């Protein structure tokens, strides 16, 4: 009888207090909480970034404007060629239009404002303000007004400081060059400038470059 009562009490105690390791087991292998996203003011949500990138697709060039830690917004878009899209983000190759031109201007200076190489972007980075597919050659050609550009050039004088925006076919990106107008052709279709800045970056050694408004896909000419 004593032995029977002992077994009954032990059984009741055992069922009332299950082994502690079971609770810890479920805590360890339970669902992990999602990491909080540090979304900067004005930035696109991860869902918006993902939707935009997937809508544009692999192989396309996109212009990305980012927001810095201090809240300042990029003055010049980052040109990125989408190389791959995966679950958490996308891989892009930075298209440095200015890098090669700047490095050609100096044997000593190796400087690229936007960095280079291949970069992995996460949809949750929280620092992208805008993403847009970069306009291709055909779109830019159709949008330009050749006669208006010729008129602007005819009104300019040699030694004027000008800002010229053109599409670089090799690097598939828009470049802004600033410098002095050295000469212009009589038909106002071509001109030569001494480049002092590329995309707001001052060159160590100035570069002379000749432009053909139509052939070089000049987009805009502005007096500075």
User: What are the tens digits of pLDDT across the range 135-173?
Assistant: 766 777 787 889 999 999 999 999 999 999 888 777 667
203: pLDDT confidence band, cut at 50, 70 and 90?
confident
Locate the DSSP E strands across 41-189.
61-66, 78-85, 89-94, 118-122, 128-133, 161-168, 173-184
Residue, of 193 and 108, whose pLDDT is higher: 193
User: What are the tens digits of pLDDT across the range 85-117?
Assistant: 999 999 998 776 555 555 555 544 444 444 457
* Residue 107 pLDDT: 47
* Residue 31 pLDDT: 54
Locate the DSSP E strands across the chain.
61-66, 78-85, 89-94, 118-122, 128-133, 161-168, 173-184, 190-198, 201-212, 218-223
Q: What pTM does this model have?
A: 0.54
* Residue 100 pLDDT: 55
User: What are the tens digits of pLDDT across the range 32-80?
Assistant: 555 667 789 999 999 999 999 999 999 988 889 999 888 888 776 788 8
Contact 71, 85 (CB under 8 A): no
* Residue 104 pLDDT: 55
Contact 169, 95 (CB under 8 A): no
Q: Which two tokens stand for residue 168?
A: 């670089």
* Residue 32 pLDDT: 55
């Amino acid at each position: 009888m004593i032995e029977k009562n002992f077994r009954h009490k032990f059984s009741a105690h055992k069922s009332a207090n299950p082994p502690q390791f079971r609770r810890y087991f479920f805590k360890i292998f339970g669902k992990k909480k999602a990491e909080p996203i540090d979304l900067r003011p004005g930035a696109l949500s991860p869902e918006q970034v993902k939707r935009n990138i997937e809508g544009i697709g692999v192989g396309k060039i996109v212009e990305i404007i980012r927001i810095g830690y201090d809240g300042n917004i990029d003055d010049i878009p980052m040109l990125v060629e989408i190389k791959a899209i995966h679950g958490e983000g996308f891989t892009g190759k930075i298209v440095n239009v200015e890098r090669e031109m700047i490095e050609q201007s100096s044997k000593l200076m190796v400087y690229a404002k936007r960095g280079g190489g291949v970069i992995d972007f996460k949809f949750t980075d929280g620092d992208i303000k805008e993403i847009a597919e970069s306009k291709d050659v055909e779109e830019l050609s159709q949008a330009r007004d050749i006669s208006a550009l010729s008129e602007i050039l005819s009104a300019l004088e040699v030694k004027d400081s000008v800002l010229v925006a053109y599409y670089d076919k090799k690097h598939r990106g828009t470049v802004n060059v600033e410098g002095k107008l050295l000469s212009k052709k009589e038909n106002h279709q071509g001109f030569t400038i001494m480049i002092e800045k590329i995309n707001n970056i001052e060159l160590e050694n100035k570069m002379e470059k000749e432009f053909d408004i139509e052939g070089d896909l000049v987009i805009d000419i502005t007096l500075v």
